[in-house]
Structure 1
Amino acid sequence: MCEFLQLVLAQDGHQVVCASSGERALEEIRSGDEIDVIVTDLMMPGVTGMEVLEEARRSLPDTPVVVITGYSTVQNAVEAMKAGAFDYLPKPFKVDEVRLVVKKALERREIALENRRLRRELQSIRERSSDIIGASREMQAVFKLVEKVARTDATVLVRGESGTGKDLIAREIHRQSLRAAKPFVSINCAALPETLLESELFGHARGAFTGAVSTKRGLFEEADGGTVFLDEIGDVSLALQAKLLRFLQSKEFIRVGETSVRRVDVRVIVATNRDLEEAIERGDFRRDLYYRLNVITVHLPPLRDRREDIPLLAKHFARKYASSLLKGPVTFSKEAMAALVAYDWPGNVRELENAVERAVVLAEGSELSLEDLPDEIVRRVSGRAGAVGAGDDAAAGKGTRGTGTETATGPEAAARAVGAVRFDEAVDSYKRELIAKALEQAGGVQARAAEILGLKRTTLNEMMKRLGMTRPDTRRRPGPADAAKILDE
């Protein structure tokens, strides 16, 4: 029977392994080799078909098992189906019946594997580094690019201002890649002098320089099979740039103080906040290294260019630090959030995180107020509000003679100037974008759009009336649906 099935299925292009006994079948199942379908007779001397089925369900849960049974053992076949068998073939059977059931089993396996892949992808999204947050179009474009490049081994150049999260993006690329189970090592190239940086990257032999009391493996060796992240690549000296170029071309290197060539398999991701093109023109950066690094570029926008992400980030950091400090849930006052949205954040996400951490630490209650924010933020926002107020007075012919009415400054003025105008208008604008996108996805059906947004239909209707929306507004492309949480604010 085994040889007969092997011959039939081999004619259909299948690679068939014939196990002459139940014991041999168990060995094949436990070998770790990939098996697409198992066909087993129920009645065998020694290890039975039911035992083969049970082992297959434990070791190969995605592999369908087809059992063969005689007319007198149909009840056993039913028991096998209850135990997880995909299907059964009663003896005697026709060749076409074998082919059909194997074909269906293979289709079932493909579906199971696809479902498992989708579950992994969903889990991957859920496990995405918790500090990488963004509903803006700019950040959604970054996430899509990261997903694409992660599947390759291409060198990636991450560009962005200080504090935009370049290191988080590098880690996310590694986490989504096939190298995720291997090491991720990073180094700030601007933090070390040239000689020490070379030793850190490539390693050194004992006695290679003063203080080298023992042999040391470099980061490239430590990360073999994984990913190396070189932050601030624009600060590397020209001499070391030449060695990096050779390494990127061949993945070969020589430890400091040695002569033997070593080889590793690593992916390299680099980042910089410098203008490398300008550095090339000045002669501070090698053009050939730039071309080698600039295979794929990920541009991270500054926080001031994606203000709609500020509330999401601020709330995330507030939850994060309230939890670490064993505090209860915290919220932002309208004035505090208005100030956060209005501030330009020269330090980007890093500065925002520090500001929110400070606010959580200082807050006496569950609401983070304007007074809990760093003075620099309040001062800058207040100064902007004062300048706007003064300009409006001048335009209206309201000069400031002598000791006339003073322009209001301070937190209250900032809240009025930013919270009453800029923040509310920004939120309303974003709501319009989200609703328009939902209506577009729902084909103009408001009930479906409300379902997409997680709202009641009546709530959506009332919101559209308040926002003056009589039809979908497609003038601007909105952010993703998961940002719809802002609608509840």
Structure 2
Amino acid sequence: MTHPAKDAANANSNGAVSRGDSSGKKGKDTPGRRIIVIDDDREMRDSLTHLLGKAGWRVEALADAVDAGQRITGFQPDVILSDVRMPGLSGLDLLRSLAGADTPPIVLISAHGDIPMAVEAMQDGAYTFLEKPFDPRRLMTALRHAAEQYRLRQDTARLRARLAHLSDLDRILLGDSKPIQDLRADILDLGETDATVMLLGETGTGKELVARALHDLSPRAAGPFIALNCAALPETHFETAMFGLSGGHGGQNATAQTGTLSVADGGTLFLDEIGACPLPAQAKLLRAIETREFLPVGATAPVRADFRVVSASNERLDAAVAAGTFREDLLYRLNTVVLTLPPLRERRDDIPLLYQHFVAQHAALFEIDPPELTPEDLAALLSHDWRGNVRELRHVAERRVLAARRGRGSVAGAISLDGDSMDVPETLREAVASFERQLIAKAIQAHKGRMDAAAEALGIGRRTLNEKIVKLGLNKADLI
């Protein structure tokens, strides 16, 4: 029995690498494409596997279509090539069973084909129908076009999902102030890249939230997002947690442990509080980031993992480098791109919006109406310094809702659990005065008493500044 697939493959044996063994090496025709071949004739399966392997396809060959659905999920092919007449489940039955699902295109082949069968196959959703014996060139062209069409369809779906994430970003990073708008724009710009990013920001500013947004908007979105708080790991266990543990280390009965780097393979590794990384582990971490290769504790053979690194710190690491507690070369590798997250006190215009958003969330959770935001509540929100940033504001909103369930409470009362609320102004006018007092004092201190410079920084005239200093009861001498 002659097989055109095998004959064509033998005729084309000009050094192309076979991929029938799923070796991962690229061939000449369609590198990286995956195909499931289903045929109950073993010689035909072997012939098709040989032909497709020579052309650079990764091939999964099946003797019947019974388990095809499960293999599609595991192998994720770009196209399916199936015989029509097979015991158990025919090619037409397979086509009908996959109708409506987001499955790869199906190309049907049959030695018993006729016009009615071809029409039925196309009506049921087959990409095309070929009769045996088929022209190998025509077959390869049909498969290549089917795979390209499927990849294009997938790319379009990913683009739609990405656009949906863009609108989600507005809901995740709430605010209309310029600092938060700039941050959203930076995240969108970096989402499509694989650049290493360092996030700088005070506690509670949302560094992990930004890291997740960078992951969700990246081509690695389908992979894992692994967060590791370096400060939470004891130094004695840091390398084991980061790089893993070989089963032979520490005695014959030792249990192997998978490290964080291995778990992050194909996704994003978020290293929070990176400044707490022990100095002995920093050299290994630097090599792992540069080569995507590392040695588990006690292992003799390196392990490879492909991951993107996003790190975070609540302060710049220059002082740690100067003190010799953080490697300068590791810092340069981590801070390829630096994003600074603004503290809440630098975007006060966003505070009412954020507060009402969190209140609405918690009110829905506890099934009550959101408590009204009174002028006194607004004054308390705007006058507080928010050392805990957005995280503190969220907790205040939750406590306000919990108090509202019992028919009482205020924002000032919710804040007082985080500190002394005796200085909270009772009116909006007092809150504005308190806010102005803080801004003017900060400007005078920043410019070391040079009033012209302070007025310019505040965007007001020198005379207006002097009037406000008198009105607000500020003492210049006390500030400098």
With normalisation by structure 1, the TM-score equals 0.58
Do residues 288 (structure 1) and 353 (structure 2) align?
no
Query: Which deviations, in whole Å up to 9, do the C-alpha atoms of 1:58-111 show, x marking residues without a partner?
Result: 77634265899999855x666545533467899xxxxxx999998986775455
**Change beyond 3 A, Cα 1:352–1:398:** closer
- Please state how far the C-alpha of 1:302 moved relative to its aligned partner: 1.5
Q: Mapping of 1:391-406 within 5 angstroms?
A: 395=467
Q: Distance in 2 between matches of 1:325 and 1:238?
A: 47
The AA in structure 2 aligned to 1:346 is R
What residue number does 2:224 align with?
A: 182
Report if the CA contact (8 A) 1:77-1:88 is conserved.
yes
Q: Pick closer, same or farther for the CA change 1:231–1:327 going to 2, 3 Å.
A: same
Q: Give 3-state SS (helix, strand or coil) of 1:309's partner.
A: helix
Tell me what 1:276 maps to: 317
Aligned to 2:263: 223
**Structure 2 counterpart SS, 1:280:** helix
- Superposed CA deviations along residues 362-409 of structure 1, whole A, max 9, x for unmatched, are 2257897445441456735566545589999x9499999xxxxxx9xx
Secondary structure of the corresponding residue to residue 57 of structure 1: coil
Q: Quick one: distance in 2 between partners of 1:99 and 1:249?
A: 40
What is aligned with 2:338?
Answer: 297
- 1:133 and 1:313 in contact (8 A); partners too: yes
Q: Measure how far apart 1:354 and its partner are.
A: 1.6
Aligned to 1:63: 105
Do the aligned partners of residues 78 and 343 (structure 1) sit closer, same or farther apart at CA in structure 2, a change above 3 Å counting? farther
The aligned amino acid for 2:209 is L
Secondary structure in 1 aligned to 2:339? strand
Question: Conserved in 1, the CA contact under 8 Å of 2:37 and 2:62?
Answer: no
Q: Deviations over 1:109-139 (max 9, x none)?
A: 4553244223433565577797543444433
SS of 2:312's equivalent in the other structure is: strand
1:329/1:366 contact within 8 Å kept: no
- Cα deviations by residue, 1:429-452 (Å, 9 ceiling, x for unpaired): xxxxxxxxxxxxxxxxxxxxxxxx
Is the Cα contact below 8 Å between 1:185 and 1:229 reproduced in 2? Answer: yes
Amino acid of the structure 1 residue aligned with 2:400: A
Q: Secondary structure at the match of 1:327?
A: coil
Asked whether the 8 Å contact 1:35–1:63 carries over to 2, the reply is no
Larger mean CA deviation between 157-166 and 196-205 belongs to 196-205
> Match for 2:366 among 306, 325, 332?
325
The equivalent residue for 1:157 is 198
Aligned mate of 1:121, from 144, 162, 176: 162
TM-score calculated relative to the size of structure 2: 0.59
Alpha-carbon spacing, 1:110–1:261, altered in 2? closer, same or farther (3 Å): closer
1:234 to 272, 275, 292: 275
CA contact (8 A) 2:36 2:77 kept: no
1:301 Cα deviation (Å)?
1.6
Q: 1:292 to 1:364 in 2, by over 3 A?
A: same
CA distance, structure 1, for counterparts of residue 470 and residue 188 of structure 2 = 56
Letter in 1 for 2:423: R
Aligned to 1:51, which of 61, 77, 93? 93
How has the CA–CA distance of structure 1 residues 343 and 99 changed in structure 2, closer, same or farther, with 3 Å as cutoff?
same
Contact 2:380 2:412 in 1 (8 A): no
| Structure 1 SS opposite 2:321 | helix
User: Which has the higher relative contact order, 1 or 2, with Cα contacts under 8 A spaced 6 or more apart?
Assistant: 1
Alignment of 1:425-440 (within 5 A): none
Unpaired runs of 5+ in structure 2? 13-28, 46-60, 132-137, 441-463, 474-480
Q: Are residues 1:310 and 2:351 paired?
A: yes
Q: Which amino acid is the alignment partner of residue 92 of structure 2?
A: M
Q: Distance in 2 between matches of 1:260 and 1:26?
A: 38
C-alpha distance after superposition, 1:216-252 (max 9, x if no partner): 7474366352544332222445445445434444542
Residues 162-171 or 236-245, more deviating:
236-245
Q: Percent identity?
A: 31
Unaligned runs of 5+ in 1: 91-96, 401-406, 408-489
Matches within 5 A, 1:31-46: 32=72
Please tell me the residue identity of whatever aligns with 1:165.
G
Q: For each residue in 1:272-311, what CA deviation from the matched residue of structure 2 results, as whole angstroms up to 9, or x when unmatched?
A: 1112224434444332221121122222122223334333
